[in-house]
Amino acid sequence: MPRISVLDMPDVPNGQLPPHIQLQKTRVFCEKNAPTHTDYVQHHGSYTSMDVHESLIENFHNNFKVNVIRLTSDVIEFDMIGIDASLANAFRRILISELPTMAIEKVYFVNNTSVIPDEVLSHRLGLIPLDADPRLFEYISDESSSSSNERNTIVFKLNVFCKDNDKRISVKSNQLKWLPKGSQLNSETDGGGNEYTSFRCSQDSPEFSHKPIGLKHDDIIIAKLGPGQAIELEAHAVKGIGKTHAKWSPVSTAWYRMLPEIVLMKEIENEMAEKLVKKCPVNVFDIEDLGAGRKKAVVSNPRACTLCRECIRDEGWEERVSLRRVKNHFIFTIESTGSLPPEVLFTEAVKILEEKCEAVIHELSF
């Protein structure tokens, strides 16, 4: 009897995964009760027995693609194709918590007779998005911890009051006035004359910044004042990251989802097709006329699928419709709060990951 190697399987194509395994490797199956095959097999040797040696890194340059879908002054939506979730997630995490912005951190009250307590008002001020490029500034703790100068602090002044017999007024964010020359308050302990900041030059000089620093939105309500009430304060903004406090996060959201893929496993015709089209709340399916009064369901807009699973909820539909997600296709959305445009935020996030790598490579060289 001739000897046959166990690996010699003529019906299994060599150097290629069997179709069902290939499918399980590249798709998440969203079934009625739970998704299956959600993991990505990362180890390079996982399919060695089938003579498959593929490395995402080697072909990355050729396979990786970005398609911009939508780009406005504060939102970008783009497709990232051919990347692993670990990298996509690293970018998302950096966007949310490690990209610096400027936000109000210290508030000096001169007077506050409004109904909002000082600490609540300070917190509200902190959350107001500022229109200042954080790349022009340094962290305040970088060199000297105590001195605030034009390189690390932005000062705003708020001085509002409601006259005795007036109606109640709203204090809006546009009443915060930028002080490019630094603080105007005198410190009480040093016998006056000593300011809280020591600016060597004014921040509105053209070499410092091309546009004046301000607030992203003019109509954020900060407080309400009744007759006779007043607020006078100075707010100092510094550079920070979202890990410390969410007010420094440059994005309101940064998120991704995998591309939905919907496959009709059987022909769905006539009334069944109509039923299917009606089931989907976001109109993923459409009807194609086959002529002679026959109609058939087709998948016309899989991208809109929210994965509500309504179409497979009823008895018998799970065999007809297969809901999947493509594991290496990410639909990434970034909403900026305004300090930097969203496309710049993404490149900055990628740069931060590179810097992290470089820092560790540097450490390893010792």
Partner 1 sequence: MEEGLRENSRSFTFSLVNEDHTLANAVRFTLNQNPMVELCAYSIPHPSDNIVNIAIQSTDKSAKAVFNDGLQDLRSMCQIVRDSFDKSVNDFRAELQESSESKN
Which of partner 1, ligand SF4, none does residue 98 bind to, with CB < 5 to 8 Å depending on kind?
partner 1
Q: Dig out the tokens for 272 from the structure.
A: 């069944």
Q: What share of the chain is helix, strand, coil (3-state, %, to 5)?
A: 25, 30, 45
CB of 307 to ligand SF4, least distance (A): 5
Using alpha carbons, list the distances in angstroms from residue 332 to 47, 87, 261, 315, 351. Answer: 30, 12, 17, 34, 17
Are 321 and 309 in contact by the 8 Å Cβ rule? The answer is no
Output DSSP code: residue 212: -
Which of partner 1, ligand SF4, none does residue 262 bind to, with CB < 5 to 8 Å depending on kind?
ligand SF4
Which range in 18-26, 199-207, 257-265, 351-359 contacts partner 1 by CB under 8 A? 351-359
- 81, burial (CB in 10 Å: exposed 0-12, middle 13-18, buried 19+): middle
Q: Dig out the tokens for 151 from the structure.
A: 């390189």
Q: What are phi and psi of 245, to 5 degrees?
A: -155, 140
Q: Which is nearer to ligand SF4, 35 or 82 (CB)?
A: 35
SS3 state at 274: helix
Q: What is the full DSSP assignment across 61-110?
A: HHH-EEEEEEE-SSEEEEEEES--HHHHHHHHHHHHHTS-EEEEEEEEEE
CB of 289 to ligand SF4, least distance (A): 21
Which of ligand SF4, partner 1, none does residue 359 bind to, with CB < 5 to 8 Å depending on kind?
partner 1
**Residue among 85, 83, 126, 357 nearest 238 (CA):** 126
CB of 76 to partner 1, least distance (A): 8
Which of partner 1, ligand SF4, none does residue 307 bind to, with CB < 5 to 8 Å depending on kind?
ligand SF4
Q: Which is nearer to ligand SF4, 158 or 280 (CB)?
A: 280
Which of partner 1, ligand SF4, none does residue 71 bind to, with CB < 5 to 8 Å depending on kind?
partner 1
314: contact with ligand SF4 by CB under 6 A = no
323: contact with ligand SF4 by CB under 6 A = yes
Q: Which is nearer to ligand SF4, 110 or 298 (CB)?
A: 298
CB of 345 to partner 1, least distance (A): 11
The binder of partner 1 chosen from 5, 33, 49, 55 (CB under 8 A): 55
20: contact with partner 1 by CB under 8 A = no
Which x/- pattern over 272-311 shows residues binding ligand SF4 (rule: CB under 6 A)? -------xx-x-x--------------------xxxxxxx
Tell which positions 253-272 bind ligand SF4, by CB under 6 A.
Answer: 262
Tell which positions 288-327 bind partner 1, by CB under 8 A.
Answer: none
| The CA-based dihedral angle spanning residues 253, 96, 245, 175, taken in that order and rounded to the nearest 10 degrees | -50
CB of 93 to partner 1, least distance (A): 5
Q: Which residues are bridge partners to 177 per DSSP?
A: 157
Tell which positions 67-126 bind partner 1, by CB under 8 A.
Answer: 67-68, 71, 76, 78, 80, 83-84, 86-87, 89-91, 93-94, 98
SS3 state at 256: strand
Q: Dig out the tokens for 296 from the structure.
A: 């058939």
Residues 6+ away with beta carbon under 8 Å from 235 = 104, 106, 107, 108, 122, 125, 155, 156, 157, 158, 176
Binding site for partner 1 (CB under 8 A): 42-45, 53, 55-57, 60-61, 64-68, 71, 76, 78, 80, 83-84, 86-87, 89-91, 93-94, 98, 343, 346-347, 350-351, 353-354, 356-361, 363-364
Interface positions with ligand SF4 (CB under 6 A): 262, 279-280, 282, 284, 305-311, 323
